[in-house]
């Protein structure tokens, strides 16, 4: 029933104007009545010396006693501890327009085609933001196409994988008037993704960057990396990790996520007090990616599944990575200096003291 309603929403959108796939794939999968569902629309980016992470979420509990909508924002800056805020709203304050793709939570928080905005107060901190961007009008599917027709617990795709932002983000202490962060005018890069399902993955590592530089230090246009390593658990059995990733290089999209790549892709990771490390390899194009991060840059968000289980997401938007691959007989090396977005998710938090979101 839920997929039928989504198809009807797609049809209504396409009849109104020429289909924009970014709009269609952002439409809510929740039909408004069914239980046991979560859904997330998020944006990550870099602007000036900052990284940022903005989320609009809903949690529809299986038992009906923990339904809520959330607006989240976190700010990252090297040399400073990250700050994350989450304002919870009743699920009834989540509203959407199925024709235009506009979701609203509360009175002042909105994500739509080409824009997002928000204003929340959590404890004594007020955060306000407004970002504008031109939709990509193409999507990035992390999973093989067939997987989106299977009854998997979580689906993910990026309706806008390569964005340029303008606008502002401002945070201040409303008790003292202290300016915590003022990114205005904001000029940056990032992306936007849509996730939905019944349960978060058992364990995952994710990364993205679209501020990528070549060996001469030149910022590359129409270039990004997006990757995901996921571990699935079926009953007591933990399955081997699967890694799926893409590299778009100067307009050419190179896929490492089909079934033949999945078999030969390999991965390793370590997230601890001493080290934040993730590596991906593929025999195709002799690909190699290495992310090395500073554990002090990460912030932890606590997610609640519709069945009440918890997941812990450790995120940073200001890490660094190198990407190497062979193209036309030449070995190329790309760099993401402090512009790599990454996170590690698991069913237990990392065993060291790190910053956590502030909730209200």
172: which strand partners?
126, 179
pLDDT value at 7 more than 80: no
Q: What would the DSSP string read from start to end of 18-68? A: S--HHHHHHS-S--SS-SSEEEEEEEEEEETTEEEEEEEEEEE-SSSSS-E
Residues 6+ apart with CB under 8 A from 320: 291, 292, 293, 335, 336, 337, 338, 339, 340
- Both structure tokens of 146: 């067939």
Decide: 256 and 282 in contact? Cβ < 8 Å.
Answer: yes
CA–CA distance, 305 with 37 (Å, rounded to integer)? 8
pLDDT at 19: 55
Give buried/exposed letters for 30-49 (b at 16+ CB in 10 A, else e).
beeeeeebbbbbbbbbbbee
Instruction: Tally DSSP H helices, then E strands, for the chain.
Output: 3, 26
Decide: 330 and 59 in contact? Cβ < 8 Å.
Answer: no
Query: How many residues comprise the chain?
Result: 360
Report the 10 Å Cβ neighbour count for 110: 18
pLDDT value at 273 more than 90: yes
Instruction: Read off the pLDDT of each residue in 182-200 and give the average, rounded to a whole number.
Output: 97
Report the 10 Å Cβ neighbour count for 115: 15
pLDDT value at 99 more than 80: no
Decide: 338 and 353 in contact? Cβ < 8 Å.
Answer: no
184-187 contact pairs (CB < 8 A, 24+): 186/47, 186/48, 186/131, 187/47, 187/48
State phi, psi for 188 to the nearest 5 degrees: -155, -175
CA–CA distance, 59 with 66 (Å, rounded to integer)? 8
CA–CA distance, 135 with 27 (Å, rounded to integer)? 14
- Both structure tokens of 172: 């201040």
CA–CA distance, 142 with 162 (Å, rounded to integer)? 14
- Per DSSP, 296 falls in state G
Report the 10 Å Cβ neighbour count for 312: 17
For 134-175, write each residue's pLDDT tens digit: 999 899 999 988 888 888 999 999 999 999 999 999 999 999
For 203-260, write each residue's pLDDT tens digit: 999 999 999 999 999 999 999 999 999 999 988 999 999 999 999 999 999 999 988 8
pLDDT value at 41 more than 50: yes
| Confidence band for 6, pLDDT divided at 50, 70 and 90 | very low
CA–CA distance, 77 with 129 (Å, rounded to integer)? 17
Planar angle of CA 181, 195, 298, nearest 5 degrees: 40
pLDDT at 150: 86
| Runs of H (alpha helix) within the chain | 2-16, 21-26, 259-264
**What pTM was estimated for this model as a whole?**
0.94
């Amino acid at each position: 029933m839920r997929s039928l309603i989504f198809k009807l929403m797609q049809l209504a959108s396409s009849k109104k104007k020429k289909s924009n796939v970014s709009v269609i794939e952002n439409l809510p999968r929740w039909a408004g009545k069914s239980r046991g569902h979560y859904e997330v629309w998020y944006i990550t980016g870099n602007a000036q010396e900052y990284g940022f992470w903005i989320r609009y979420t809903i949690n529809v509990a299986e038992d009906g006693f923990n339904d809520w909508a959330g607006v989240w924002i976190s700010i990252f800056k090297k040399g400073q501890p990250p700050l994350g805020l989450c304002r919870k709203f009743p699920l009834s304050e989540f509203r959407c327009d199925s024709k235009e793709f506009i979701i609203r939570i509360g009175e002042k928080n909105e994500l739509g085609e080409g824009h997002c905005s928000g204003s929340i107060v959590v404890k004594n901190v007020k955060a306000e933001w407004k970002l504008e961007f031109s939709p990509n009008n193409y999507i990035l599917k992390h999973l093989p196409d067939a997987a989106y027709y299977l009854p998997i617990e979580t689906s993910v795709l990026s309706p806008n994988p390569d964005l340029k932002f303008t606008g502002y983000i401002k945070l201040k202490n409303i008790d003292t008037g202290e300016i915590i962060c003022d990114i205005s005018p904001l000029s940056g890069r990032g992306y936007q993704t849509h996730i939905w399902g019944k349960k978060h993955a058992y364990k995952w590592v994710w990364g993205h960057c679209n501020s990528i530089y070549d060996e001469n230090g030149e910022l590359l246009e129409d270039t990004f990396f997006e990757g995901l390593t996921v571990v699935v658990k079926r009953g007591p059995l933990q399955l081997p990790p699967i890694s799926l990733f893409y590299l778009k290089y100067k307009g050419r999209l190179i896929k490492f996520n089909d079934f033949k790549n999945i078999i030969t892709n390999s991965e390793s990771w370590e997230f601890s007090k001493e080290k934040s490390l993730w590596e991906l390899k593929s025999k195709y194009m002799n690909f190699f990616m290495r992310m090395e991060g500073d554990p002090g840059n990460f912030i932890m968000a606590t997610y609640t599944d519709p069945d009440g289980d918890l997941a812990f997401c450790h995120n940073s938007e200001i890490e660094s990575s190198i990407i190497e691959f062979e193209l036309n007989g030449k070995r190329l090396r790309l760099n993401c200096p402090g512009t790599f977005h990454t996170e590690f998710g698991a069913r237990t938090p990392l065993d060291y003291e790190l910053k956590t979101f502030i909730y209200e």
